[in-house]
Amino acid sequence: MKGRVLNQRQNNPTASDRYARQIRFPSIGETGQARLSESTALVVGCGALGSVLANTLARSGVGRLRIVDRDFLEYSNLQRQVLYDEQDVKNGLPKAIAAADKIAKINSTIDVEPVVLDVDASNVESLCEGVDVILDGSDNFEIRFLLNDVSVKHSIPWVYGGCLGADGQTMTVLPKETACLNCLMLDGPPPPGTSPTCDSFGILSPVINLIASIQSMEALKILSGNRKAISRQLTVASMWESELRQIDISGLRDKVDCPTCCRGEFRWLSGERESHSVVLCGRDAVQVSFPGREQISLVQMAERLETLGRVEANAFLLRFHIDEYVISVFPDGRAIISGTEDLSLARKLYTQYLGS
């Protein structure tokens, strides 16, 4: 009889069973765990950072997860995207769907909403409706600045994270209280093609796990009601050098007179700073442009891309050949991606090889 009761408990665990070790942590306890179960988290991007975030929050008992990603799985993802396996790649599933399937097997007591979508100014606010925290699992600054605008405008905390090579950084934004992403980067993101990407520079999985774990911990603090424990610093990790630094940014918001969190100007949400994509009729090509962006160096871009594919360049444009696509880049950052009429794919290719 005792054996049968034990098996029933294992097959149908209560919250006290499932989260026992977490509940015993004094700052969580039964009250904090109950708050987690009633919370909703938005994970934007479910690749490297996002898969760790979704996995951790699901196992921690966050009641509702909304997972948004525009991409599908490839074998090169498996080196660092911990929620997936080879069968997911073979199935050809979008990342959001594959993540939701996996999470259902990890924790069937929570609700998961997978959304296969390219996040932009037209949909980002609706994606953030009803959420208690926003987690950055994206791979480009355009989406991050959109999330920053939504966070400040609607007073939703968000946790930024980014990694490249063996380096990473993260910070938590508490609207009207702490510095926001625009406080750190008043001029906006670096111009297209001026900074390396994971495809051109590479990335090591340990830094992903570190940064996403810090992000997840910040989310648990927010959702469990432990606001005083939330970091007010920018955390920077250089794992190859075994360095972890924290930079005090607590007074930055007031010093820089940030247009977003001090003056309420939401330039990314308005579309003023957003990239524009348009299918070029009859050409099997998409143009991606960035109105108002500064000029870029085609010479530097050519040097960075020539290790990845064939590059042709002159003073007026650069052509980069990769797989079945040709990416033609102009000094103003505008690019024409030939070989597709899919706007989402064109934006993905731009971000993948040129940066945001």
| pLDDT tens-digit series, residues 145-191 | 999 999 999 999 999 999 999 999 999 999 989 999 999 998 888 76
Q: Residue 84's pLDDT is what?
A: 96
Question: How far, in Å, are 12, 32, 107, 130, 132 from residue 15 at the CA level?
Answer: 10, 12, 11, 24, 21
Q: Are residues 169 and 291 in the same domain?
A: no
| pLDDT-based confidence at residue 281 (cuts at 50, 70, 90) | low
Domain assignment present for 21: no
Q: Are residues 236 and 333 in the same domain?
A: no
Selected residue with higher pLDDT from 224 and 9: 224
Domain assignment present for 307: yes
Give the end of a domain, one of 222, 256, 290: 256
pLDDT cut 70: percent of the chain above it: 93
Of 352, 292, 300, 303, the residue nearest 323 (C-alpha): 352
Q: Are residues 282 and 212 in the same domain?
A: no
Q: Are residues 176 and 235 in the same domain?
A: yes
Q: Are residues 112 and 186 in the same domain?
A: yes
Spatial neighbors of 46 by CB under 8 A, at least 6 apart, are 54, 67, 68, 69, 83, 95, 96, 99, 137
Could you tell me if 173 and 161 are in contact, meaning their C-beta atoms sit under 8 angstroms apart? Answer: no
Segment (H or E) for 336: strand 335-338
Question: How far, in Å, are 34, 95, 153, 207 from residue 163 at the CA level?
Answer: 32, 19, 26, 7
Domain assignment present for 262: no
**What's the mean pLDDT when you consider all of the chain?**
89
Residue with the two structure tokens 């909403």: 113
Q: Is the pLDDT of residue 97 over 90?
A: yes
233-238/243-248 β-pairing: antiparallel
Q: Is the pLDDT of residue 284 over 60?
A: yes
Measured from the Cβ of residue 305, the count of other Cβ atoms closer than 10 Å reads 24
Measured from the Cβ of residue 37, the count of other Cβ atoms closer than 10 Å reads 17
Q: Are residues 229 and 280 in the same domain?
A: no
Domain assignment present for 346: yes
Q: Which amino acid is at 225?
A: G
For position 197, which CATH number holds? 3.40.50.720
Torsion of CA 334, 49, 159, 294, to 10 degrees: -20
| pLDDT tens-digit series, residues 296-334 | 888 888 888 988 899 998 877 789 999 999 998 888 888
Question: Would you state the structure tokens that stand for residue 337, as one six-digit string?
Answer: 């991606």
Q: Residue 5's pLDDT is what?
A: 34
Please return the burial class of 309, using the count of CB atoms within 10 Å of its CB with bins 0-12, 13-18 and 19+: middle
Q: How far is the C-alpha of 350 from the C-alpha of 271, rounded, in Å?
A: 18
Q: Is the pLDDT of residue 2 over 50?
A: no
Strand partners, 125: none
Q: How far is the C-alpha of 216 from the C-alpha of 35, rounded, in Å?
A: 15
Task: Name the domain count of the chain.
Answer: 2
Q: How far is the C-alpha of 348 from the C-alpha of 356, rounded, in Å?
A: 10
Q: Is the pLDDT of residue 222 over 90?
A: yes
Give the end of a domain, one of 193, 228, 256: 256
Task: Give the torsion sign (CA, 334, 145, 118, 310).
Answer: positive
Q: Residue 12's pLDDT is what?
A: 64
Q: How far is the C-alpha of 287 from the C-alpha of 350, rounded, in Å?
A: 10
Q: Residue 11's pLDDT is what?
A: 59
Q: Is the pLDDT of residue 15 over 60?
A: yes
Q: Are residues 280 and 208 in the same domain?
A: no
Domain assignment present for 66: yes
Q: Are residues 72 and 205 in the same domain?
A: yes
Angle ∠(164,165,167) on CA atoms, nearest 5: 70
Q: Is the pLDDT of residue 282 over 70?
A: no
| pLDDT-based confidence at residue 203 (cuts at 50, 70, 90) | very high
| pLDDT tens-digit series, residues 208-217 | 999 999 999 9
pTM above 0.85, yes or no: no
Q: Are residues 282 and 251 in the same domain?
A: no
315: containing domain:
276-354
Q: 165-180: buried (b, 16+ CB within 10 Å) or exposed (e) per residue?
A: ebbbbbbbbbbeebbb
Domain assignment present for 320: yes
For position 302, which CATH number holds? 3.30.310.10
Q: Residue 221's pLDDT is what?
A: 98
Q: Is the pLDDT of residue 240 over 70?
A: yes
| pLDDT tens-digit series, residues 98-123 | 999 999 999 999 999 999 988 889 89
Give the end of a domain, one of 225, 256, 287: 256
Selected residue with higher pLDDT from 200 and 227: 227
Q: How far is the C-alpha of 137 from the C-alpha of 281, rounded, in Å?
A: 33
Q: Are residues 70 and 142 in the same domain?
A: yes
Domain assignment present for 178: yes
Domain assignment present for 6: no
Q: Are residues 211 and 86 in the same domain?
A: yes
Measured from the Cβ of residue 192, the count of other Cβ atoms closer than 10 Å reads 27
Could you tell me if 106 and 165 are in contact, meaning their C-beta atoms sit under 8 angstroms apart? Answer: no
Q: Is the pLDDT of residue 13 over 80?
A: no
Q: Are residues 79 and 193 in the same domain?
A: yes
| pLDDT tens-digit series, residues 62-83 | 999 999 998 878 898 999 999 9
